[in-house]
Amino acid sequence: MDTQPSNQGAETPQSADQVLKLVIQDLDSFRKNMTNQLRQDVNRLRVEKEQLNNDVNKLRRQYEQLQSQQLESLSQRQIAQQQLWLKQLAQVLANNLQQQLGHKIQELRQDGAPEIQQGGIPGGELPMTNPLNSYHESTNEFGDSLSATLNGIFEALKQELDSYQSDLSVQLNHMRDMEQQGEVLIETLVSRLREQLENNSTVSSESFENSESGARYSANFNSLGRSTVASLVESPEALPGPQPESTTKSKKSPSQVQVGLILALLSAVVLSFFNVCVKIILYTPPQPHLIFGSFPVEGLINPNVGNSLLILLLRLIVVMLLMPMVATFLYPAVWNDIERFIKSRDFSLWWKVIGSAFFLFLSQVLIYISIGNISTGIAITIFFIYPVITVLASWVLFGDRPSLVRIFAMIIIALGGILVFPGGEGDYQQGILAAVGAGVTFSGYVLLTQMSAGKLHPIPFSLVNFAGIFVFSALGLMIPLPVGWSVNIDPSLWSGLVLGGIILGVLTLCSYLLNNFAIRFAGAARASIVGTSGPVLTALFALFVIGEVLGVKQVFGMILVIIGVAAMSFERMFGARRKSN
């Protein structure tokens, strides 16, 4: 200014003042802008801090909730460790956030605010962009550091939670295993207690009668007459191994015994009528049958293998529809026993039950063929040779030698079976062989049934037998058979055949119920003695209903068979009483 001309001196100070004012204004503007930016950044950092605190509080609540859910399975020591860890985690996180936020704000102030407050610029230069760049770099470093810290904290938290989850899963699996083991132990204990109660609640003969009744109930299904139960009275004694023993005899009032005997007789009557109905359904000479000597009725189908399977299947359809209700009424725990039987994986018992159903199935088919080829009473009488076969098989297989009374009864039964063979003109060979085969297969059924006695209640055993015979009948009809053995029926007779199957099924269940209550009131031994009247009742029904007449020799043979079977029943009953005494 000193070197300027004099005429310009007045304007120069004004220009300098103006420049100074402009610089001051620019500096104020820069300071305000920087201050606003810093204030905004501080506010943003404060908001982020609050968000982080909220996230930490949210995580703390989630962790506390998870901790409350796991409180029952975790020990007090683990809970204390978790609380301590949570407090340390919150303190470390808060300290880190506070320190880092304070450092960054202090760095920002050192970068911008001191230079502005001095009113000048070091070095004579105006750094317009360096503070902003430094600020952005600092904020980026702070964000990266904060992200790395939070990632580390969350990773550590995740690992800790995974560890607790793994421990909890191991403990839950261990508890589940212990629970399953406890269920198995309790189920085994209850099963053993039930068996002991069943064995101790009744007499030796009564518990033995219960074990027999399963076979007897299924024997009712044979519809061969109540006398089919005779061998079931004597067959268990012929088997080796543990037998139900009892020390006391349950007392039955005379009125109960009388009611039981009447019910047993009614069951035998129903089964005898059943046998005659089978004879009416089958087409056998002479035709037509005269019902009560007045109503002619012709048979519906020939008595071959396929037609016998068809009759059996139709009958089983009715039985399987009604039997579950009957079984539930007689024994409410039937389904629990069947479920336990299936889950037991006792393959030995499975094969015995399935084998008994298969032998009973074969016996049914063969007796139908026999009834269709020879007189009904003769077929049933020949069938009653099965007690002899049962005793001999027990002797051979198990070494149980029969008593003198049983040997004498066997001789009488064999002699009566020979005398009852039909004579005169006609081809009776097929009917006789079928009746003998029915007796042989039924003896196999009796043996397998008695071998599984005591392991399954009689009513579930009968229901499983019904189901098995139903399956075998259906499979038998699916197998291709020779022309002479296959199903051969006039389509116009289907309605009559279906009606006959319904009648047979209803008669089966009626006999089942009657025999069940007869055993409850009178006992198995007495009911089986009444059942020996089956051949006689069948012959009488055949005589009065369809006019079948037997010769003197056949009647005498039938009487011998009944005497022999009754002798076995009495011998078994008195033998049980002697053992009880």
pLDDT in tens, 541-567: 888 888 888 888 888 888 888 888 888
Residues 177 and 239 in one domain: no
H or E element, residue 535: helix 534-546
The span from the CA of 184 to the CA of 179, in Å, is 9
Residue 110, domain extent: 16-119+129-193
Residues 379 and 441 in one domain: yes
Q: 65: helix, coil or strand?
A: helix
Residue 181 lies in a domain: yes
Residues 282 and 324 in one domain: yes
Q: Answer with the residue of higher pLDDT: 177 or 494.
A: 494
378-to-275, 327, 362, 384 alpha-carbon distances in Å: 12, 33, 19, 10
Q: What residues contact 389, with CB distance under 8 A and at least 6 apart?
A: 439, 440, 443
H or E element, residue 290: strand 289-291
pLDDT at residue 74 is higher than 70: no
Residue 1 lies in a domain: no
Residue 93 lies in a domain: yes
Average pLDDT for the chain? 75
Query: Residues 371, 430: contact at Cβ < 8 Å?
Result: no
Residue 461 lies in a domain: yes
Q: What are 453's strand-pairing partners? A: 456
The span from the CA of 458 to the CA of 198, in Å, is 13
- Mean pLDDT value across residues 401-405: 82
Q: Answer with the residue of higher pLDDT: 453 or 34.
A: 34
The span from the CA of 461 to the CA of 338, in Å, is 8
- Counting the structural domains of the chain, the total is 2
- Residue of 186, 214, 180 whose CA lies nearest to 455: 214
Residues 160 and 210 in one domain: no
pLDDT at residue 178 is higher than 70: yes
Residues 167 and 293 in one domain: no
The pLDDT score that the predictor gives to residue 581 is 60
160-to-54, 152, 153, 157, 570 alpha-carbon distances in Å: 21, 12, 11, 5, 80
The pLDDT score that the predictor gives to residue 13 is 52
- Cβ of 451: how many Cβ atoms within 10 Å? 20
The region, left, alpha or beta by phi > 0 then psi within -120 to 50, assigned to residue 144 is alpha
Q: Among all chains, which residue has been given the structure tokens 């950092």?
A: 45
Residue 506 lies in a domain: yes
The pLDDT score that the predictor gives to residue 516 is 82
The span from the CA of 293 to the CA of 450, in Å, is 43
H or E element, residue 286: none
Query: pLDDT digits over 295-329, tens only?
Result: 777 777 888 888 889 999 999 999 999 989 988 88
- Residue of 448, 427, 440, 446 whose CA lies nearest to 382: 440
pLDDT at residue 401 is higher than 70: yes
Q: Apex CA 203: angle with CA 200 and CA 206, to 5°?
A: 115
The span from the CA of 167 to the CA of 569, in Å, is 67
The span from the CA of 305 to the CA of 295, in Å, is 28
Cis peptide before 5 (omega within 30 of 0): no
Q: Among all chains, which residue has been given the structure tokens 């004004």?
A: 14
Residues 571 and 519 in one domain: yes
185-to-176, 180, 190, 335 alpha-carbon distances in Å: 14, 9, 9, 21
- Mean pLDDT value across residues 105-129: 50
Counting Cα atoms < 13 Å in the Cβ hemisphere of 47 gives 5
- Residue of 507, 546, 476 whose CA lies nearest to 225: 507
The span from the CA of 67 to the CA of 76, in Å, is 12
Helix and strand numbers, DSSP H then E, in the chain: 18, 2
Q: What residues contact 446, with CB distance under 8 A and at least 6 apart?
A: 215, 231, 232, 235, 386, 390
pLDDT confidence band for 226 (50 / 70 / 90): very low
Encoded tokens for 315: 């009958």
The pLDDT score that the predictor gives to residue 127 is 45
pLDDT confidence band for 234 (50 / 70 / 90): very low
Residue 9 lies in a domain: no
At how many degrees (to 10) do helices 524-531 and 494-522 cross? 140
Query: pLDDT digits over 433-461, tens only?
Result: 999 999 999 988 988 888 877 778 888 88
157-to-91, 164, 383, 398 alpha-carbon distances in Å: 14, 11, 83, 73
Encoded tokens for 330: 């007689």
Q: Is the four-CA dihedral 473, 474, 479, 482 of positive or negative sign?
A: positive
The span from the CA of 433 to the CA of 238, in Å, is 26
Residues 407 and 503 in one domain: yes
Encoded tokens for 403: 């008593």
**In sequence order, what DSSP letters do the residues of 296-316 get, joined into one string?**
EE--SB--SHHHHHHHHHHHH
Residues 113 and 217 in one domain: no
Residues 401 and 339 in one domain: yes
Q: What are 296's strand-pairing partners? A: 290
pLDDT at residue 238 is higher than 60: no
Query: pLDDT digits over 123-152, tens only?
Result: 444 444 455 555 556 666 766 776 777 777
Encoded tokens for 562: 């009944």
Counting Cα atoms < 13 Å in the Cβ hemisphere of 232 gives 34
Residues 188 and 218 in one domain: no
Query: pLDDT digits over 568-579, tens only?
Result: 877 777 766 666
- Cβ of 19: how many Cβ atoms within 10 Å? 10
Query: pLDDT digits over 476-521, tens only?
Result: 988 888 877 888 888 888 888 889 889 999 998 898 888 888 888 8
Residues 234 and 296 in one domain: yes
Residues 432 and 457 in one domain: yes
Determine the length of the chain: 581
Q: Of the ranges 109-113, 286-290, 502-506, which one carries the lowest mean pLDDT score?
A: 109-113
The span from the CA of 451 to the CA of 500, in Å, is 35
Q: 13: helix, coil or strand?
A: helix
399-to-241, 396, 402, 563 alpha-carbon distances in Å: 11, 6, 9, 26
Query: pLDDT digits over 185-209, tens only?
Result: 776 777 667 666 655 544 333 333 4
Give the highest mean pLDDT range of 79-88, 279-288, 465-474: 465-474
- Mean pLDDT value across residues 242-258: 54
The pLDDT score that the predictor gives to residue 7 is 54
pLDDT at residue 274 is higher than 80: yes
Q: Apex CA 176: angle with CA 171 and CA 180, to 5°?
A: 150
pLDDT at residue 156 is higher than 70: yes
The pLDDT score that the predictor gives to residue 317 is 92
Query: Residues 278, 505: contact at Cβ < 8 Å?
Result: no
The span from the CA of 155 to the CA of 40, in Å, is 31
The span from the CA of 263 to the CA of 522, in Å, is 9
